[in-house]
Amino acid sequence: MSEKTKGQELCEELSYKRRNYFEVASEEEKQAIFDYAEGYKAFLDAAKTEREATQRSVELARGAGFTEYHFGDPLKAGDKKYFVNRGKSVVVFRVGSLPLEEDGLRIIASHIDAPRVDIKQNPLYEDSGMAFLKTHYYGGIKKYQWTAIPLALHGVVILKDGTKVEIRVGEEAGDPVFYINDLLPHLGGEQMSGSASKLIEGEQLNVLVGGLPYADGEVKDRIKLTVLSVLKEKYGMCEEDFLSAELSAVPAFPARDVGFDRALIGAYGHDDRVCAYPALTAVLWNETPHTVLAMLVDKEEIGSEGNTGIQSKVYEDLMEEISIALGANFRKVRAASKCLSSDVTAAFDPNFAGVYEKMNAAILSCGTAMCKFTGARGKSGSNDANAEFIGEVRKMFAEEGVVWQTAELGKVDIGGGGTVAKFVANLNIDTVDLGVPVISMHAPWEVISKADLYSNYKAFLAFMK
Ligand code: MN
Ligand code: MN
């Protein structure tokens, strides 16, 4: 091998180079990357809604020896707890040995809701040989992407007597699935010449749920009646029970490896389970001297609102309750706390290169991506983390050999997005965004790299060290 020139040496010493994690990982670590992805795929399939993600997280927590926590319970170092908020959000936490007022809480915040198509409160009708459910979509979707694919129905119905019935149809082999109609290209000339945002309008996102007329010529809307009779038989519900139901149509596809080399995973709802699962497993599976919390919250996709979104006081109350139980001053505790707000970012896509600024876009497989700021139009609505805190986190990652990168979501003034970061930061907690780059974010089926998934997990381990 020839000697390096002085310039080459200087280049190595002074220049920043992003690294592809697959390329720099040892054989052993590469195996760990692929092994970890298997558990993640299973989690995705079990947890397509925030309710299911909460349920599955609680099961995993119990399996790891965590027990349920309620406000007012005593706490001591070494305790492993989970806290459920209304069945739609869960916080798993470990009480550490370090003094809370000086060390603060180490928080990883991710969300477990995902864009989808929600069923309206009075949804069922029949028209021209078909029965449909009316919908109102949830989160930012390209509506046309949700047509002509198999859909599953997930959710709960609260019956007149208060009984809660869980519904999950379209996931098991042999289950029927559901469908949103699209127009055939033969008649789609006018549709295709318009704006893509108008290809399918909100009120056209009607979910096809039946086609068999009830065998009684005396009644009107016989297909609707068949659907109602099946719902009665299976769930004990009548039409009025839709009024107090929370049902969602989600893609019926399972998570699958993508590519000949299986480097990637395609699935519904990587945003943000690809961060929530590493947050959860980091806290469940690893001891730490810090008091750490993985907060898996709801409603991020619609602005983190409501009593299960991160803006709810319940999360602040929980942190305060933990402080009180450990005899610490909450104001001091949160001033000393640190948070990784872990949400996905956009991976640079060469097929749409024009909307990215490549130097500052996340590149697939180069590790979990830190976003100093999110927002839009001059960083509006962004947390914009302090350089000091980023420097601190950067040092943690360097010490643990985490392969990571920084990212900005798209070119300046092209668009933007927000996360839960700013709401946590409002509590006087140092916070920065860190998450996995996603291809086709918010599509019914998104793609991520297994390397970035594992990098995110390793980043959390470094944060907890
Ligand atoms: Mn997200
Ligand atoms: Mn999102």
Span from the CA of 272 to the centroid of ligand 2 (angstroms): 7
Span from the CA of 343 to the centroid of ligand 1 (angstroms): 5
**pLDDT in the model for residue 417:** 86
Distance CA 279, CA 175 (A): 32
**Nearest ligand to the C-alpha of residue 442?**
2
**pLDDT in the model for residue 442:** 98
**Confidence band of 2 (pLDDT split at 50, 70, 90):** confident
**Confidence band of 3 (pLDDT split at 50, 70, 90):** confident
Question: Hey, what amino acid is at 78?
Answer: G
**Nearest ligand to the C-alpha of residue 116?**
2
Mean pLDDT of the chain: 97
Q: Around ion ligand 1, which residues have CB less than 5 A away? A: 271-272, 343
**Nearest ligand to the C-alpha of residue 419?**
1
Condensed to tens digits (0 to 9), the pLDDT of residues 284-305 reads 999 999 999 999 999 999 999 9
**pLDDT in the model for residue 375:** 86
**Nearest ligand to the C-alpha of residue 341?**
1
**pLDDT in the model for residue 52:** 98
Span from the CA of 299 to the centroid of ligand 1 (angstroms): 10
**pLDDT in the model for residue 336:** 98
**Nearest ligand to the C-alpha of residue 440?**
2
Tell the CATH topology of 17-114+268-464: Aminopeptidase (3.40.630)
**Nearest ligand to the C-alpha of residue 111?**
1
Mean pLDDT lowest for which of 90-104, 146-160, 267-281, 366-380? 366-380
Does the pLDDT value for residue 201 go beyond 80? yes
**Confidence band of 1 (pLDDT split at 50, 70, 90):** low
Span from the CA of 127 to the centroid of ligand 1 (angstroms): 37
Condensed to tens digits (0 to 9), the pLDDT of residues 354-383 reads 999 999 999 999 999 999 998 888 999 899
Span from the CA of 345 to the centroid of ligand 1 (angstroms): 8
Distance CA 306, CA 363 (A): 34
Span from the CA of 177 to the centroid of ligand 2 (angstroms): 25
C-beta separation of 130 from 124 below 8 A: no
Span from the CA of 411 to the centroid of ligand 1 (angstroms): 19
**pLDDT in the model for residue 367:** 98
Return the axis-axis angle of helices 270-285 and 50-63, rounded to nearest 10°.
20
The structural domains of the chain, with segments of one domain joined by +, span 17-114+268-464, 116-251
Condensed to tens digits (0 to 9), the pLDDT of residues 135-153 reads 999 999 999 999 999 999 9
What b-and-e string marks burial along 103-130, b requiring 16 or more CB atoms within 10 Å of the CB? bbbbbbbbbbbbbbbbbeeebbebeeeb
Residue 53's nearest CA partner among 287, 238, 295 is 295
Condensed to tens digits (0 to 9), the pLDDT of residues 432-463 reads 999 999 999 999 999 999 999 999 999 999 99
Condensed to tens digits (0 to 9), the pLDDT of residues 11-35 reads 999 999 999 999 999 999 999 999 9
**pLDDT in the model for residue 190:** 94
**pLDDT in the model for residue 167:** 98
**pLDDT in the model for residue 415:** 87
Span from the CA of 117 to the centroid of ligand 1 (angstroms): 16
Burial class (CB in 10 A: 0-12, 13-18, 19+), 38: exposed
Span from the CA of 281 to the centroid of ligand 1 (angstroms): 18
C-beta separation of 36 from 457 below 8 A: yes
Tell the CATH topology of 116-251: Aminopeptidase i, Domain 2 (2.30.250)
**pLDDT in the model for residue 416:** 86
C-beta separation of 403 from 383 below 8 A: no
**Confidence band of 333 (pLDDT split at 50, 70, 90):** very high
